[in-house]
Amino acid sequence: MDDPFTFEPSPLDGPGQWLKAGFHCHTVNSDGGMSPAETVSCYRARGYHCIGITDHFTVTPIEQFSDESFIAIDATENGGNPDIIGVGVSTAVPEKEPLAQRAKALSEQGGFTIAAHPTYCAVTPDVYLDCPDLMAMEILNAYCDEAYTNGLATELWDMLLGQGKRIWGVAGDDAHLNPQKRYYSDAGKAWVEIWAKELSREAILEALKKGAFFSTQGPRFQSIAVQGAQIQLTCTPVVQVRWRTFGKVGFVDYAPSGENLTRSELPEWFQPNAFVRIELVDAQGKKAWSNPFFVS
């Protein structure tokens, strides 16, 4: 008989609102093609509520572009080997420092730390396991995926989660908005949907740090209810809901031929190994990824 288990409370519980956000893009202050103001306007036109501009090795100040309907958060693609992003920071830190020290220095500024394009950086699990201040990793970097075929890192994510690392998954477009980089660098190819108490810098950073968001190329989770050993969800129309844990246990909920799914639930027989995470796949093959729900 399987051992009984329950999930930890969901970070998506409680009052809030969904905010579309992106935390990997570049301007003329590094290798982007637009000014900071033009970049903010580009994202606003695509329905974003929040961005962090991540120019290389520097913080491009953008918080002056915030207003009652949009939040701009200072950030950086700090650089180093492997690379790291800091969201909500005031200054970049020395790129030659080890990853653990860069993550610690950025988090001490109040920042949300994200490992940038792990597959592109040829990262192995031990590198991130030894980094306690690393809060998240890019599970999809759209630019790397389309330009170099190495933008997906969900297998690495599962290896880390399976070994006890608590780390959130972030999708980003790594937009450069630069004609020299062709269509690969466009905005709006992948983003996060944050469940935040309000539209403010503080609420967004708080939600990011506790994992109250999902990542997507288009499909959306509309609700994810967690109670005891049960998880139930509703979503926009998809053809697959994929329930994932570490190891051989897994389940794909397929839509009937020619139809779509808009709800799914974790099967009673599903015995997770430390966590469960959920993927949505729509008819165009675009995906969304929940953050892991941990077994208590």
Query: Could you report the per-residue pLDDT of 246-290, keeping only the tens digit for each?
Result: 999 999 999 999 999 999 999 999 999 999 999 999 999 999 999
Which of these CATH numbers, 3.40.50.300, 1.25.40.80, 3.30.470.20, 3.20.20.140, describes 17-216?
Answer: 3.20.20.140
pLDDT at 1: 36
Helix, strand, coil percentages (3-state) for the chain, rounded to 5, are: 20, 30, 50
Mean of pLDDT over the chain: 96
Return the domain boundaries, the chain.
17-216, 221-294
β-pairing, 71-72 vs 50-51, is: parallel
Fold for domain 221-294?
Answer: Immunoglobulin-like (2.60.40)
Q: pLDDT digit string (tens) for 138-175?
A: 999 999 999 999 999 999 999 999 999 999 999 999 99
Per the CB < 8 A criterion, the answer to whether 289 and 240 are in contact is: no
Any bridge partners for residue 136, and if so which? Answer: 114, 168
Distances (CA, A) of 292 to 88, 116, 185, 280: 23, 19, 28, 14
127 near 156, Cβ under 8 Å? no
221-294 matches 17-216 in CATH topology: no
Whole-number Å distance between alpha carbons of 205 and 77: 17
Q: In terms of DSSP bridges, do strands 240-244 and 112-115 run parallel, antiparallel, or are they unpaired?
A: unpaired
**pLDDT tens sequence across 6-32:** 999 999 999 999 999 999 999 999 999
Q: 225 with 233: CB under 8 angstroms?
A: yes
pTM of whole model > 0.95? yes
Whole-angstrom CA distances from 40 to 24, 36, 60, 140, 181 are 12, 6, 12, 22, 19
